[in-house]
Chains A and B, each alone.
Chain A
């Protein structure tokens, strides 16, 4: 009896240490304290104007990315569309770059790779990381330790180093780049899924299902998954922001999707970031920077609002 209680307490303590390690004790806030200031609560219940502005921007960018070839904009690869390094004008809204290509149309096309990679990566991370995390959190024991170790290894590999390792050795197709960044998303998403599974696996409804004789698979799919998907889904847009930035960094290092027609914001920025270009044709680098900034900001802002709306705790990764 006492040995059993001690064992369970030890298990509890080590779990608590782990929980603290990844700061998930308060991941999903259960109750609201009366001290919560009323403003905070009001913010949480409504998404607000800013959220919808961000969504409008994201929808617009996504629209442009999808239908870029059908839009009445210049061919982004056409060299000498205008003179080199022309300032923004009515003809070329964002001016032209060193090769005389239209910066506006390039920026619009650039959204395609950024959003495709960002979207694919986060979906991959959620499917793989989510599955691993839920299994680890539900079954615990050996499996949990193994998965935890894999996550820790993935996290100890500096993300960008891992990414350049993969993209430098493989052919840099859209799929490879997306997969690479998707792999980076596995560990953080997995830890989140594991954490929320731990929280819910303790709850009464799971215990009830188990007592009623439900099989493991059924408990995971019917009882845990819907609850774990909420915090995961709430963080989708935030994760996508990270993925878009990661793709940009790779492109900046010349290691994102290869090819002249593979236009990416990161690549455009590095093209315009030479000291001479920066000095004389600031727009070549700054306008893509601005569009990228607003897009990432919109993802972060909308993502954070959704996070607050579903009352999910901020994550440190």
Chain B
């Protein structure tokens, strides 16, 4: 079962970028590139050697592996519906948050290592937004833990979630926040624009400017895995509303992210950079609100 879980997660990771591209193309009235074009692109990158700038150190070379490794291990903690994840232990939701943070820190250090002013700017932006999005993620995960009384993803989504209208709302809310976190963490509009060629406006992309070949492929794949893991989490929270089955959660995660990102990127402009702070803080505030609501609900149950 754990194997199926991992397989589904990886499949979701491979499908989400394709669905985003397809949605965007359709909304623009275009046919769009092949669904698996991003896989061909990465295959091409994987066949290429990396070229390193003379100003970089061993740190710069190690980071893509660390980044991909952290994302993969983090993803292995996430259950798909009621399936058991490969790795599971008490408190793994904190491990999840900080594995993502580890990857981010590694990439920031690598960007600083190049000594480029562009990448320095990107690193400073990524550090700021990463710092702001962390409380949002932890508070939302904390809410899930609070509702179920477990601190491991596998236990939280084991199908014993409390039922009732109030929890319905809390779970819906949690899904919403998690989807917004997916937008932020995977660097999509309105926070970042993965398609732009303008270095001065980039956040995530600018930190990878000095990477090419295999290293760039690793970073791209890590990005897919990271957004798939977070999407799956959002899909699990949504699926918990009407029965936690893997065959609901897995397609839901792909559709939820693929379509929502595609629609937002087609119809909306990205934020002014200074407004990103507000945008992310709003997510964090919502998460705090959610946490207190859940806490109050919890108290009420105890009194009864």
Answer yes or no: are A and B bound together in one complex: no
